[in-house]
Amino acid sequence: MERYERLGKVGEGSYGVVFKCRNRDTGQIVAIKKFLESEEDPLIRKIALREVRMLKVGGCGSHEGLPGGDGAGGAGKGQSEGTE
Protein backbone atom coordinates (compact mmCIF):
# COMPACT_ATOMS: atom_id res chain seq x y z
CA MET A 1 0.00 0.00 0.00
CA GLU A 2 3.01 2.30 0.14
CA ARG A 3 2.68 2.91 -3.61
CA TYR A 4 -0.85 4.23 -3.14
CA GLU A 5 -2.35 7.29 -1.49
CA ARG A 6 -5.72 6.54 0.08
CA LEU A 7 -8.27 9.13 -1.12
CA GLY A 8 -11.38 7.84 0.58
CA LYS A 9 -13.60 4.94 1.47
CA VAL A 10 -15.83 3.71 -1.37
CA GLY A 11 -17.77 1.03 0.48
CA GLU A 12 -17.75 -1.76 3.02
CA GLY A 13 -19.00 -5.32 2.89
CA SER A 14 -18.98 -8.43 5.02
CA TYR A 15 -15.38 -9.31 4.20
CA GLY A 16 -13.63 -6.06 3.45
CA VAL A 17 -13.47 -2.34 2.80
CA VAL A 18 -12.92 -0.79 -0.65
CA PHE A 19 -10.84 2.38 -0.87
CA LYS A 20 -10.33 4.83 -3.71
CA CYS A 21 -6.56 5.24 -4.08
CA ARG A 22 -4.05 7.01 -6.30
CA ASN A 23 -0.79 5.44 -7.49
CA ARG A 24 1.91 7.80 -6.18
CA ASP A 25 4.13 7.22 -9.23
CA THR A 26 1.62 7.40 -12.08
CA GLY A 27 -1.35 9.27 -10.60
CA GLN A 28 -3.65 6.44 -11.75
CA ILE A 29 -6.85 6.13 -9.70
CA VAL A 30 -7.67 2.58 -8.58
CA ALA A 31 -9.96 0.78 -6.16
CA ILE A 32 -8.25 -1.39 -3.56
CA LYS A 33 -10.08 -3.87 -1.35
CA LYS A 34 -8.64 -4.52 2.09
CA PHE A 35 -9.95 -7.69 3.68
CA LEU A 36 -11.06 -7.36 7.30
CA GLU A 37 -10.04 -10.85 8.40
CA SER A 38 -6.62 -12.42 8.35
CA GLU A 39 -5.53 -13.80 5.00
CA GLU A 40 -4.83 -17.02 6.89
CA ASP A 41 -8.60 -17.61 7.19
CA PRO A 42 -9.42 -20.21 4.48
CA LEU A 43 -12.89 -18.76 3.80
CA ILE A 44 -11.49 -15.26 3.25
CA ARG A 45 -8.74 -16.63 0.99
CA LYS A 46 -11.32 -18.54 -1.06
CA ILE A 47 -13.50 -15.44 -1.47
CA ALA A 48 -10.53 -13.24 -2.39
CA LEU A 49 -9.27 -15.68 -5.00
CA ARG A 50 -12.77 -16.04 -6.45
CA GLU A 51 -13.08 -12.24 -6.79
CA VAL A 52 -9.73 -11.95 -8.56
CA ARG A 53 -10.57 -14.84 -10.88
CA MET A 54 -13.96 -13.29 -11.71
CA LEU A 55 -12.34 -9.96 -12.55
CA LYS A 56 -9.74 -11.59 -14.80
CA VAL A 57 -11.99 -14.13 -16.54
CA GLY A 58 -14.91 -11.72 -16.72
CA GLY A 59 -13.07 -9.54 -19.21
CA CYS A 60 -11.78 -7.01 -16.69
CA GLY A 61 -8.21 -8.35 -16.69
CA SER A 62 -7.02 -5.47 -18.84
CA HIS A 63 -9.15 -2.82 -17.13
CA GLU A 64 -7.12 0.25 -16.31
CA GLY A 65 -8.40 0.27 -12.69
CA LEU A 66 -7.03 -3.19 -11.86
CA PRO A 67 -3.49 -3.35 -10.52
CA GLY A 68 -1.27 -4.50 -13.36
CA GLY A 69 -4.13 -3.82 -15.79
CA ASP A 70 -2.65 -0.95 -17.72
CA GLY A 71 -4.13 -2.13 -21.00
CA ALA A 72 -0.81 -3.74 -21.92
CA GLY A 73 -2.13 -7.26 -21.39
CA GLY A 74 -3.50 -9.41 -18.64
CA ALA A 75 -6.78 -10.25 -20.34
CA GLY A 76 -8.47 -13.33 -18.93
CA LYS A 77 -8.14 -16.77 -20.47
CA GLY A 78 -10.05 -16.88 -23.72
CA GLN A 79 -10.52 -13.12 -23.69
CA SER A 80 -8.93 -10.56 -25.92
CA GLU A 81 -7.91 -7.12 -24.82
CA GLY A 82 -10.72 -4.63 -24.94
CA THR A 83 -13.41 -7.28 -24.49
CA GLU A 84 -16.11 -6.07 -22.15
pLDDT digits (tens, 9 = 90+) for 39-52: 678 888 888 888 87
Domain tally, the chain: 2
Quote the domain boundaries for residue 15.
Answer: 1-36
The binding site for ATP consists of 34
H-type helices in 1-84, by residue range?
Answer: 42-55
The binding site consists of 34
Same domain, 22 and 53: no
Same domain, 19 and 52: no
User: Distance (Å, rounded) from C-alpha 48 to C-alpha 35?
Assistant: 8
Q: Where are the beta strands (DSSP E) in 1-44?
A: 4-12, 16-23, 29-35
Same domain, 15 and 45: no
pLDDT digits (tens, 9 = 90+) for 2-13: 899 999 999 998
How far from chain centre, in Å, is Cα 71?
A: 14
**In terms of pTM, does the model score above 0.75?**
no
CATH of the domain at 7: 3.30.200.20
Same domain, 45 and 62: yes
Same domain, 42 and 83: yes
